[in-house]
Amino acid sequence: MDFVLPLMVTSQVIPLIVLAPFFIILLGIGMTSKIAMAAVISFFPIFVNFAHGYKSISSNIHELMHIYDASTRFKIWNVYFPLSAGSILAGLKVSATLAAIGAIVAEFTGAEVGLGKNLFISAIRLEPDLMMTSLILSTLIGLTLFTSILLIERSFLGWNKDV
C-alpha cells in the first residue's frame, strides 16, 4: 500500500476535466464514457479510505492469519473486508457525490442530452431557469446517491455505534 498511495495521489493532481475528451475519443459519446469518467473521479476516495481501513487492522490479526496459513480469499472476504468496511463505506459516501459530478463533467464535452449538457447550454445562452433546474436536479441526484450509501452503511454496520 505504501508504494501505491503516492501514485494514486499523483494521478489526482491531473485536472480530470481534461480527461473527458480522451474518454469520448476512446469509448465514444455514449454512456460508457460517462461511466468511465465517474469511475475515475470516484475511485480515489474509496481507495484512500480502504487503505486507511486496511492499515487500521491490528498487526495481531495479520499475524494470526499468517499462523493459520489462511488463503488470500479467506483473509480478504472474512477478515480484511469486514474489518475495513466502515472505512470503505465512508469512501463510498464521498464518492457517491463525486460520481454525479463526474457524469456531469463528462456530459459537458460530449453529450447530446443530460444535465451537464443543459448546464453548458444554459451558461452559453444565459438561461437561468434551465441552469437552476439542472443544478437542483444534479443536487438531488447527489443527495440520493449519498443517502443510499448511508442506508446501506446503516444496514450493514448497524452494530457499530459510530454509524
pLDDT in tens, 64-115: 988 998 898 998 898 888 888 888 888 888 888 888 887 787 777 766 777 7
Which range, 29-33, 50-54, 147-151, has the best average confidence (pLDDT)?
Answer: 147-151
The SS3 of residue 10 is helix
Report CA torsion sign: 78, 83, 89, 94.
negative
Kindly state whether residue 163 falls inside one of the protein's structural domains.
no
CB atoms inside a 10 Å sphere around CB 101: 18
CATH number at residue 131: 1.10.3720.10
Instruction: For the beta carbon of residue 96, count every other beta carbon within 10 angstroms.
Output: 21
pLDDT (0 to 100) of residue 1: 57
| Residue 162 domain-assigned (yes or no) | no
Please report whether residue 87 resides in a domain. yes
Give the per-residue pLDDT at 159.
60
Q: Report the pLDDT value the prediction gives residue 130, as an integer from 0 to 100.
A: 81
pTM to 2 decimals? 0.71
The verdict on residue 161 lying in a domain is: no
> Over pLDDT 90: what percentage of the chain?
7
Band of residue 144 on the pLDDT scale cut at 50, 70, 90: very high
For 121-137, b/e burial (b = at least 16 CB within 10 A) is ebeeeeeeeebeebeee
Place of cell 450493514: 156
Instruction: Kindly state the average pLDDT of the residues 9-20.
Output: 72
pLDDT at 154 over 60: yes
Give the separation between CA 119 and CA 41, rounded to whole angstroms.
Answer: 19
Count of domains observed in the chain: 1
pLDDT at 111: 65
Read off the DSSP letter of residue 18.
G
Mean pLDDT of 47-60: 87
Confidence of residue 41 (pLDDT cuts 50, 70, 90): confident
Residue 2, pLDDT > 70, answer no
Which residues constitute the domain of residue 97?
A: 4-156
Whether the pLDDT of residue 55 is over 80: the answer is yes
